[in-house]
Structure 1
Amino acid sequence: MSASANAEEDGARAFTPCRACHSLDPAERNLPGPNLSGVIGRDVGGAAEFDYSPALRKARDEGLRWDAKRLETFLADPAAMFPGLWMSMRGIEDAAERQALVRFLSDPASR
């Protein structure tokens, strides 16, 4: 198996717990969390059909956008980045796992 295939598998595996609340299928809606299809480059709190916590609405109003660095920082400790966040995820301690997840979310071709 190639290194890129391993990286894709690592990212897909890292996304597994996220699937309880989020989808990468652009057509899938009505989940507990916002759809994450195309999250990189999107405004923080920017999925129009989702009711975000005030912390994420404030970030959107301030013009923050998701990029790989911001997403990795968020995944390390979401509540520290956005106090008052409604999402109950603790964070991903392992840096390699966070990086694999960010790559997976950044590259639709890897799914």
Structure 2
Amino acid sequence: MELPPDWGTVLPVADIAAGERAFARCMACHTINQGGADGIGPNLWGAVGGPMLHSAGFDYSPALREHAAQNPTWTYDELDQFITAPSRHVRGTKMSFAGIRNTEERVALIAYLRSQGSSGYAIPAPDPSRQPGAEEETPAEGEAVEGEGVEQTPEEGAPPSRTRKPPAPAQPAATSSPQN
């Protein structure tokens, strides 16, 4: 399973103009102007970070109402999953749109949607574990790391290999005696 985008990294640099162009595909069913009328689909002004069933009076599908009971907010991850493949994410939705498989296009679209009445919905901080230079996944406690803890003797004639020394034991913290 693919990780969702790191919203704290991708949203601040997303191409909102590209998102607006991507929204052209949505305009057959949705409006996005403040106070705009619902179309075949609900008006999307202020939808990002808002309630999933945000458009009062819109006839949402029973499947989306049921989904919203468990996932009441259009979070970045929820929108990303829904826009990727609506009928796969919410089985039984009335939305017949096939979805947008391209991650960059979805991120741009979500950034554009956020710019339309949802700018108060915070962008999370970047995930430090997903930044360039972050350590790879660390093994679970007690799990062996390849080559660690195993002494290997070089084969005859092979050049000596560099081996890691075990870490030095931690030194106890210096304590100071109370002064009288």
Global fold match (TM > 0.5) = yes
Could you tell me how far apart the structure 1 residues matched to 2:51 and 2:97 are?
A: 20
Residue 63 of structure 1, CA deviation: 4.8
Q: What is the percent sequence identity of the aligned residues?
A: 35
Higher helix share: 1
Residue 30 of structure 1, CA deviation: 3.9
Normalised by the length of structure 1, the TM-score is 0.86
Q: Is residue 2:44 matched to residue 1:36?
A: yes
Could you tell me how far apart the structure 1 residues matched to 2:89 and 2:99 are?
A: 11
Q: Supply the AA of the counterpart residue of 1:85.
A: T
Which of 54, 61, 66 is the aligned partner of 1:53? 61
Could you tell me how far apart the structure 2 residues matched to 1:17 and 1:35 are?
A: 14
Q: Deviations over 1:13-72 (max 9, x none)?
A: 110010111111122214110010000122212311200000111123335210111101
Gaps of 5+ in 1: none
RMSD: 2.0
The answer (yes or no) to whether the contact 2:33–2:116 under 8 Å persists in 1 is no
**What is the aligned residue count?**
106
The answer (yes or no) to whether the contact 1:42–1:66 under 8 Å persists in 2 is yes
Could you tell me how far apart the structure 2 residues matched to 1:42 and 1:53 are?
A: 18
Could you tell me how far apart the structure 1 residues matched to 2:106 and 2:100 are?
A: 6
Residue 96 of structure 1, CA deviation: 0.6
* 85-94 or 45-54, which deviates more: 45-54
Q: Supply the AA of the counterpart residue of 2:110.
A: V
Q: Supply the AA of the counterpart residue of 1:98.
A: R
Normalised by the length of structure 2, the TM-score is 0.54
Q: Supply the AA of the counterpart residue of 1:25.
A: N
Q: Deviations over 1:64-101 (max 9, x none)?
A: 21011110111111111100000110010111101100
Could you tell me how far apart the structure 2 residues matched to 1:23 and 1:30 are?
A: 7
RCO comparison, higher one (Cα < 8 Å, 6+):
1
